[in-house]
Each structure stands twice: as C-alpha cells, then as structure tokens.
Amino acid sequence: MNKRPVTFLLLPTLAVLCLTGCGTHLLRDRVGEGVIEYALTFPDYDPNGIMAGMLPERTTVTFADNKQVAELSAGMGIFRTTMVADGEAKAMDYHLSMMSKKMVAHMKSRELTMFNDESGDPTILFTQDMDTIAGYACKRAIAIFARMEMPEIELWYTNDIELSEPNWFGPFAEIPGVLMRYDIVQYGMRMRLNAIQVTPGDVDPTKFEVKADFEQVPPEVLHHELAEVLGTFSM
C-alpha cells in the first residue's frame, strides 16, 4: 500500500533531474563564430569528363557578427572565389581570382538577382523531418521550382548557428536557419554541399574586409566572367 505513492513521487523527481542535470549537457549553445566546412559533389557531372579533376572538393563558410565569407578554389587553385556577405547591410563583395586577373563587385540585393535568374524563386515547403548533420540538429525543407527542368531540392538547415537571415542573398532566402545540406544550380552546374565539420572559435574581423589588390568592377562584368569560366567546367 505504501509503495504506490512513493512511485508517483519519484517520477516527477527523475524528470526534474533530467531537465536540470543530465539534460543540460544534451543542449547545444548557439554558435556565434566559427567555420563550416562542406564537402562538394556534382551529381549531374560526368566523372569521366575532361575537366573532372579540376572541380573543387571542399568549400568553407566563416561566420561572425551576422557576416559570412564563403571561399571556394577550383582548377588546382587557378580559379578562386570569395563571397563576403554582410547580413546587416544586405550587401555582398564577390571576389573572383583567376591567374593574374583579380576583380571584385559590390552588390546589393537587386544586383544579386542576376545570379539567381537561372533557377528562379522556388516555393519552399517545410516538413517535420529531422536529422543530425556535422553534429547539429537539422530540419528539412523542400524547394519546388516552377521550371520543369529544375528538380526538387532538399534543404537541411540548423538553427544552432547564430546568423540572422543567413540565406538572404540566394534563392533560399525563406529558410530561417543555416543550410547544412543542399543543392545549388548556377551557370548550368548543379553543386551539392554537405556540411562535414563545424569549428566554433573567434574570427578575425579583417576576414570580412574587401581584398585591397582586387579591381572594382560592375556586377555585370563579374557575372560575365563567371559565366565564361564556369562554362569550361561543364565540358
């Protein structure tokens, strides 16, 4: 007769212990600064193509204070891009380096639309699906495009990285978290990014500055150069 009340008293006690003790170790603090490393693959690309060995295998995104720097290198370092995005100013400095040619274009949201014209603005469907990517809890959304030639894209994103409107500059601006696994199509190439590691840590503020030795050019000039360069990788 006395055992029954004891059981009911223990259940809430154990619940409190899990919430105030062991449970706190399972909760991850939001990361405010650090580096995300992504593995890159090209699902539609012929692995036997003559340029296959020139495609990039990794890219990184450095983040702090609502700013991001995405860096990519291809062609054994001959071709490099560095995109510095300022979430507060809603502006991007897009650097392109190829051999001796170095240029940078400063762009606001209206200029960035030319880089998204190829796919158009998708309809985003949010789901209840969850997964863990690079140790971070992620939610799944689906991007559906009006153009028949554009297949649906799965978008996995996390809210555990502290960036406000982290996708404002691309076709997935509606996604409220940092993208950890997704596809992007530009200049006829489909690129799949999959986060493999997040390294929290202090970021040097100079990382977000415009590179001094780059020539300032209009966005249209940079767009044309990227189209010509990336077109060679789809041979």
Residue 102 lies in a domain: yes
The number of distinct structural domains making up the chain is 1
What's the rounded mean pLDDT across residues 106-127? 86
Which among 201, 231, 235, 223 has a CA at the least distance from the CA of 94? 223
Give the containing element (helix H, strand E) for 13: helix 3-17
Segment among 8-22, 121-135, 152-166 with least mean pLDDT: 8-22
Query: Mind listing the pLDDT tens digit for each residue in 23-41?
Result: 333 455 789 999 999 999 9
Residue 154 lies in a domain: yes
Query: Mind listing the pLDDT tens digit for each residue in 138-180?
Result: 999 999 998 767 789 999 999 999 999 999 999 999 999 999 9
Residue 213 lies in a domain: yes
What angle is formed at CA 200 by the lines to CA 75 and CA 90, rounded to 5 degrees?
70
> Is 155 buried (19+), middle (13-18) or exposed (0-12) by CB count in 10 A?
buried
What's the rounded mean pLDDT across residues 186-201? 92
Whole-model pTM: value is: 0.83
Q: Is the pLDDT of residue 107 over 60?
A: yes
Query: Mind listing the pLDDT tens digit for each residue in 44-67?
Result: 776 666 666 678 889 999 999 999
- How far is residue 183 from each of residues 156, 192, 220, measured CA to CA in Å? 10, 4, 24
Domain enclosing residue 214, as ranges: 34-234
Residue 179 lies in a domain: yes
Residue 189 lies in a domain: yes
Please give the full DSSP string across 24-48, using - where no structure is assigned. HHHSPPPB-SEEEEEEEE-TTS-TT
112 compared with 102, residue with greater pLDDT: 102
What span, in angstroms and rounded, lies between the C-alpha atoms of 156 and 177?
Answer: 9
Residue 70 lies in a domain: yes
Q: Is the pLDDT of residue 42 over 70?
A: yes
Residue 63 lies in a domain: yes
CATH number assigned to the domain comprising residue 163: 2.50.20
Residue 2 lies in a domain: no
What's the rounded mean pLDDT across residues 182-194? 89
| pLDDT, averaged across the chain | 84
